[in-house]
A = this chain, B = another copy of it.
Amino acid sequence: MSERADPMADGDETVTAAHGAGGERMRELLSDAVVPRFRGDSPADGIGIDALDDGAVLPTGDGALVVTTDSHVVDPPFFAGGDVGRLAVAGTVNDLAAMGATEPETLTCGLVVEAGTPTAAVESVLGSMAETASAADAPITTGDTKVMPRGDLDGIVVNTAGVARIEEGAELPVAGLSPGDRLLVTGPVGDHGVALLAERESFGFDADLESDVAPVNDLVAAAVDAGTVTAATDPTRGGVATALVEFAERSGVGVRLDERAVPVDDATETVADVLGLDPLKIACEGRMVLGVDEGDAEDVLSALRAAGGTEAALVGRAVAEHGGRVVVDTGIGERYLTEPSGEQRPRIC
A residues lining the B interface (CB < 8 Å):
1-2, 4, 6-17, 19-21, 26, 29-30, 33-34, 37-38, 40-43, 46, 48-49, 55-56, 58, 60, 65, 67-73, 75-80, 83, 105-106, 108-124, 126-127, 129-130, 133-134, 139-149, 151-155, 157, 159, 161, 163, 165, 198-199, 202, 206-207, 346-347
Nearest to A5 among chain B residues (CB) is: B78
Q: Are A106 and B65 in contact (CB under 8 A)?
A: yes
List of B residues within 8 angstroms of A152 by Cβ? 73, 75, 153-155, 347
A166 to chain B, nearest CB (A): 13
Known: A65-B105, A133-B41, A141-B58. A346 touches B147 (CB 8 A): yes
Main secondary structure of the interface of A (DSSP, over half): mixed
For the complex, give the distance between the alpha carbons of A6 and B83 in Å.
11
A201 to chain B, nearest CB (A): 11
Given contacts A142-B55, A147-B17, contact A202 B2 (CB under 8 A): yes
Check B116 against A15 for contact (C-beta < 8 Å).
yes
A303 to chain B, nearest CB (A): 29
**Contact assessment for A119 and B11 in the assembled complex, using a CB-CB cutoff below 8 Å:** yes
Chain B residues within an 8 Å CB radius of A4: 78, 80
Minimum C-beta distance from A144 to chain B (A) = 5
Quickly give the copy total for this chain: 2
- Closest-by-CB residue of B relative to A48 is B141
CB nearest to A41 among chain B residues:
B139
- Shortest CB–CB separation between residue A171 and chain B, in angstroms? 13
Give Cα distance in the complex from A207 to B13, angstroms. 31
- B141 contacts A14, CB within 8 Å? no
Q: By the criterion CB–CB under 8 Å, are A141 and B33 in contact?
A: no
Q: Is the CB of B70 within 8 A of A144?
A: yes
CB of A297 to closest CB in B, whole Å: 30
User: For residue A159, which residues in chain B have a CB less than 8 angstroms away from its CB?
Assistant: 69, 71, 110, 159, 161
CB pair B121–A67 under 8 Å, yes or no, is no
Contact of A122 among B33, B42, B146 (CB under 8 A): B33
Contacts of A34 in B (CB 8 A): 109, 126, 143, 145
Report A214 CB to chain B, min CB distance, Å: 18
- A58: chain B residues at CB < 8 Å are 105-106, 141
Q: Check B14 against A56 for contact (C-beta < 8 Å).
A: no
18 A–B pairs (Cβ distance < 8 Å), ordered by A: A8-B117, A9-B118, A11-B121, A15-B116, A15-B119, A16-B115, A16-B147, A19-B145, A21-B147, A30-B145, A38-B130, A38-B140, A48-B141, A67-B106, A71-B111, A115-B346, A149-B346, A161-B161
Task: Say whether, besides A30-B145, A163-B163, A70 and B110 are in contact (CB < 8 Å).
Answer: yes
Who on chain B is nearest to A30 by CB? B145
Q: B7 touching A118 by the CB < 8 A rule?
A: yes
Contact status B151-A68, CB under 8 Å: no
